[in-house]
């Protein structure tokens, strides 16, 4: 039954009609003629009729009372974050793993809920655990109502708690085995099957400085990537597999260099995850002659980036004559892979290099350099010697006594590297595959950059090593959930901006109201990406209105 209009000449009438099934067809039957539409509107009779009918519809009555200010709002809360990430928490078996490890412990609060709260906070508002305690008050998160700050601190301490001495097999010289290691190993075992492998790993690191006193042993002064050598810091490393899925996280004192951490981490991977062979893919910042020698001594496979401008051998490799093989052609389709060509070069029949070139990047590099040089010429005409302090300018300058000039030989030398990068490897993979494996590292670095935003946990108020480990490990778990959600969206070929997903989920609200002594819950509109995220995760949106 519904209302429709009927126009005769210049007049429009309002009818109540009903659909009937007659002889295999739908036919409309007029139940009542309400009259001319213009007269009903002019005399206000239509509004009175709708209002009268609304008395027999609870939903319309509530909405009408809300519009007239006849309701009292009891509370409102954000529901999107917990609804989605609780499902992913279950799908990744994180909660089950925590509960198994906690079965012999006697905490008077739910440690699993405390960890989930902290992880959820990392995803939506990265910050300290002090902030998480207050942040939860605006959200509907099952099981966290009674949690206080001291509960969160105790949960973090449990995650970072050192294991017994007989469980320290696989510990590195700079990091003991802790509870969080057991969690990582069980999560890896959960998703591992007969066909899964861990023969290719990507390794990257970042540093986090302490604004307070720092850890007992983990806070050390070292080479600061944040340009804060005055503060103690810790180093956080993350290992991801060939699919970009997080495998494990590691934390070391801040004075541990990347080069020294690489080989112990690989040894620890082999012990922890039961892998026989491994191919290390790492950026040029991780490589040194000492590292390569150690890796080759252990007969590990590797694909490593090379610093072209600082390596004499790499410079010679770039200039070596030879024909490039095309991997991906140049294309005008933005969805096609970037153009890529590769060339294999052997040095003394012992060291294998692969020179890669991206023609689109080469064009960009050339234009960027020409813009820098043009700006430098202009600045030097004005006698601006302060430009010497700019690294981007300094590499093109030459000094002739008191005067500076653009060194054209340096400009031409720099042009040799446009769009190119050099890899070294001891694998038998074709040059094409070597280049593509290394390009996967860029994807992983993009994932790692997102993790760095999740690791934005400053200021760290924890002082004990165990609570610091747990605090940072929650950021790793947040990355696990984020990757799970992104994989589900990708399986449906939906490309959604992460910032949009977080904002839209955060804006999904429920509000409790009281009308004539009865309680109801309203849900806000699911805007933007919300519906797709719920669909990808197999979660039903709550009804727009329900009694409570």
Q: Which pLDDT band, with edges at 50, 70 and 90, does 93 fall under? A: very high
Mean pLDDT of 421-438: 88
The predicted structure's pLDDT at residue 87: 97
CA 363 to chain centre: 30
Q: Which pLDDT band, with edges at 50, 70 and 90, does 459 fall under? A: very low
Q: Which of 82-96, 270-284, 410-424 has the highest average model confidence (pLDDT)?
A: 82-96
The predicted structure's pLDDT at residue 400: 62
The predicted structure's pLDDT at residue 488: 95
Q: Tokens 């973090």 belong to which residue?
A: 156
The predicted structure's pLDDT at residue 364: 92
The predicted structure's pLDDT at residue 446: 63
**Residue 82: pLDDT over 60:** yes
**Residue 440: pLDDT over 80:** no
22-31, 56-65, 158-167, 181-190: least confident range: 56-65
Determine the Cα–Cα distance for residues 538 and 59; give it in Å rounded to an integer: 27
Q: Which pTM does this prediction carry?
A: 0.74
Quick one: what percent of the chain has pLDDT higher than 70?
Answer: 81
Residues 362/418, Cβ–Cβ less than 8 Å: yes
The predicted structure's pLDDT at residue 449: 61
Identify the residue with better confidence: 100 or 383: 100
- Please give the full DSSP string across 334-365, using - where no structure is assigned: TTSPPPEEEEEEEETTTEEEEEEE-HHHHHHH
The predicted structure's pLDDT at residue 190: 83
CA 105 to chain centre: 32
The predicted structure's pLDDT at residue 452: 54
Q: Locate 100 and state its tokens.
A: 């198994």
Q: Which pLDDT band, with edges at 50, 70 and 90, does 195 fall under? A: very low
Determine the Cα–Cα distance for residues 287 and 425; give it in Å rounded to an integer: 12
Q: Which pLDDT band, with edges at 50, 70 and 90, does 172 fall under? A: confident
116-130, 211-225, 434-448, 470-484: least confident range: 211-225
Determine the Cα–Cα distance for residues 218 and 251; give it in Å rounded to an integer: 8
Determine the Cα–Cα distance for residues 351 and 273; give it in Å rounded to an integer: 30
Mean pLDDT of 356-365: 91
The predicted structure's pLDDT at residue 70: 55
The predicted structure's pLDDT at residue 179: 96
Identify the residue with better confidence: 513 or 490: 490
Identify the residue with better confidence: 517 or 10: 10
Among 249, 318, 238, 313, residue whose Cα is nearest residue 282 = 238
In whole angstroms, how far apart are CA 483 and each of 243, 307, 343, 457, 476?
Answer: 10, 31, 34, 20, 11
The predicted structure's pLDDT at residue 60: 60
Residues 337/328, Cβ–Cβ less than 8 Å: yes
Mean pLDDT of 87-92: 96
The secondary structure of residue 377, as a DSSP letter, is: H
Mean pLDDT of 130-137: 86
Determine the Cα–Cα distance for residues 147 and 459; give it in Å rounded to an integer: 21
The predicted structure's pLDDT at residue 194: 44
Q: What is the pLDDT of residues 15-56, one digit of tens each?
A: 888 888 888 888 888 888 888 888 888 888 887 777 677 666
- 427 backbone dihedrals φ, ψ, rounded to 5°: -85, 170
The predicted structure's pLDDT at residue 274: 72
């Amino acid at each position: 039954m519904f209302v429709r209009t009927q126009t005769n000449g210049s007049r429009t009438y309002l009818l109540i009609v009903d659909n009937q099934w007659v002889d295999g067809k739908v036919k409309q039957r007029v139940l009542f003629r309400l009259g001319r539409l213009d007269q009903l509107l002019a005399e206000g009779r239509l509004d009175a009729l709708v209002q009268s009918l609304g008395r027999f519809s609870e939903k319309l009555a509530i909405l009408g009372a809300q519009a007239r200010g006849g309701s009292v709002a009891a509370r409102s809360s954000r529901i999107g974050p917990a609804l989605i990430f609780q499902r992913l928490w279950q799908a990744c078996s994180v909660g089950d793993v925590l509960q198994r490890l906690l079965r012999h412990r006697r905490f008077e609060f739910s440690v699993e809920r405390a960890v989930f709260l902290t992880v959820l906070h990392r995803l939506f508002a990265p910050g300290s655990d002090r902030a998480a305690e207050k942040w939860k008050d605006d959200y509907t998160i099952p099981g966290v109502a009674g949690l206080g700050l001291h509960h969160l601190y105790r949960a973090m301490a449990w995650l970072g708690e050192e294991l017994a001495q007989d469980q320290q097999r696989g510990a590195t010289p700079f990091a003991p085995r802790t509870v969080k290691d057991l969690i990582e190993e069980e999560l890896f075992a959960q998703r591992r099957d007969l066909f899964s492998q861990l023969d290719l790993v990507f390794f990257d690191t970042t540093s986090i400085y302490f604004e307070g006193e720092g850890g007992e042993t983990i806070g050390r002064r070292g080479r600061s990537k944040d340009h804060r050598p005055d503060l103690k810091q810790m180093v956080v490393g993350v290992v991801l597999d060939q699919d970009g899925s997080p495998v494990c996280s590691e934390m070391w004192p801040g004075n541990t260099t990347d080069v020294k951490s690489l080989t112990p981490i690989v040894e620890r991977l082999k012990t922890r995850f039961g892998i026989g062979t491994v191919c290390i893919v790492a950026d040029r910042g991780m490589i040194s002659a000492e590292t390569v020698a150690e890796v080759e001594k252990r007969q590990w496979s590797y694909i490593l980036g090379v610093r072209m401008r600082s390596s004499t051998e790499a410079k010679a490799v770039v200039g070596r004559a030879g024909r490039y093989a095309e991997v991906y052609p140049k294309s005008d389709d933005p969805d096609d892979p970037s153009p890529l060509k590769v060339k294999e070069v052997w040095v003394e029949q012992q060291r294998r290099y692969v020179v890669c070139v991206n023609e689109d990047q080469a064009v960009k590099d050339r234009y960027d350099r020409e813009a820098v040089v043009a700006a430098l010429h202009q600045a030097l005409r004005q006698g601006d010697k302060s430009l010497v302090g700019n690294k981007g300018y300094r590499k093109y300058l030459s000094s002739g006594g008191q005067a500076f000039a653009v060194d054209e030989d340096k400009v031409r030398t720099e042009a040799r590297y446009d769009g190119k990068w050099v890899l070294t490897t001891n694998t038998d993979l074709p040059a094409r595959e070597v280049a593509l494996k290394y390009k996967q590292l860029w994807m992983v670095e993009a994932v790692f950059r997102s993790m760095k935003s999740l690791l934005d946990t400053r200021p760290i108020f924890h002082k004990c090593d165990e609570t610091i480990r747990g605090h940072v490990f929650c950021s790793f778990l947040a990355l696990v959930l984020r990757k799970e959600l992104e994989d589900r969206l990708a399986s449906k070929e939906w490309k959604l901006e992460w910032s949009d997903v977080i904002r839209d989920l955060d804006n999904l609200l429920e509000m409790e109201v009281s009308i004539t002594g009865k309680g109801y819950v309203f849900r806000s509109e699911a805007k933007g990406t919300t519906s797709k995220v719920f669909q990808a995760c197999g979660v039903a949106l709550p009804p727009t209105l329900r009694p409570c």
